[in-house]
């Protein structure tokens, strides 16, 4: 009987470890690869996090277009209310306003989602949903994401369940007509 109990506990422990979802660590040196879909076109977009001290500095790269840098102030990551979605200019440093984020929602928006199950972002109210969707996987590991839908039901966002760096993993019917899909994070 003792052997059966030990075996049952081992199996349950293995199942719970197997069922855990993945939250990759984001820090200086993290590389994220996205596909941006807009107007029937798909563009591979690479972001490298260079530093996360007083601001988040990220270099971007689009094949056959160029590279550049985004600078997102610490205030943006803390309280930003919209995503910067203008086409970047090669070889330039693009400084985001304190209200803008790039690839992340703000920590304040994430806290609001965790506390009240709603958030304001890109001039829309989003509500957390438990509706079943296809899992988002990176390297065959299912990401731990929060799925939110706009009040009108048109826009959807999947956000990494990481209060320090709430990374946007996927969007559907993005507010500016662009959708993001995270392909990898290293």
Q: What's the pLDDT score for residue 2?
A: 52
Q: What's the pLDDT score for residue 100?
A: 96
57-67 average pLDDT score: 95
The whole-model pTM stands at 0.87
39: pLDDT confidence band, cut at 50, 70 and 90? confident
| Domain hosting residue 8, numbered range | 2-185
Q: Please, which residues have CB within 8 angstroms of residue 169's CB and are 6 or more apart in sequence? A: 136, 143, 145, 158, 159, 160, 180, 181, 182
Structurally, the chain folds into a number of domains equal to 1
Would you say 98 and 76 are in contact if contact means Cβ atoms under 8 Å apart?
Answer: yes
DSSP lists the bridge partners of residue 126 as 119, 150
pLDDT tens per residue, range 4-27: 444 344 444 444 445 589 999 999
């Amino acid at each position: 009987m003792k052997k059966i109990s030990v075996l049952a506990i081992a199996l349950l422990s293995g199942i719970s470890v197997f069922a855990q979802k993945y939250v990759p660590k984001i820090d200086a040196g993290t590389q994220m690869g996205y596909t941006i879909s807009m107007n029937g076109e798909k563009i591979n977009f690479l972001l490298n996090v260079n530093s996360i001290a007083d601001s988040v500095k990220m270099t971007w790269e689009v094949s056959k277009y160029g590279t550049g840098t985004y600078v997102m102030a610490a205030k943006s990551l803390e309280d930003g209310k919209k995503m910067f979605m203008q086409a970047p200019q090669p070889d330039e440093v693009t400084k985001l306003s304190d209200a803008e984020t790039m690839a992340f929602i703000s920590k304040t928006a994430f806290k609001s989602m965790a506390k009240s199950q709603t958030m304001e972002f890109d001039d829309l109210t989003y509500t957390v949903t438990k509706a079943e969707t296809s899992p988002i996987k990176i390297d065959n590991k299912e990401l731990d994401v929060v799925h939110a839908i706009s009040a009108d039901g048109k826009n959807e966002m999947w956000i990494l369940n990481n209060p320090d760096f709430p990374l946007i993993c996927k969007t559907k019917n993005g507010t500016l007509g662009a959708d993001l899909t995270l392909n990898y994070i290293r």
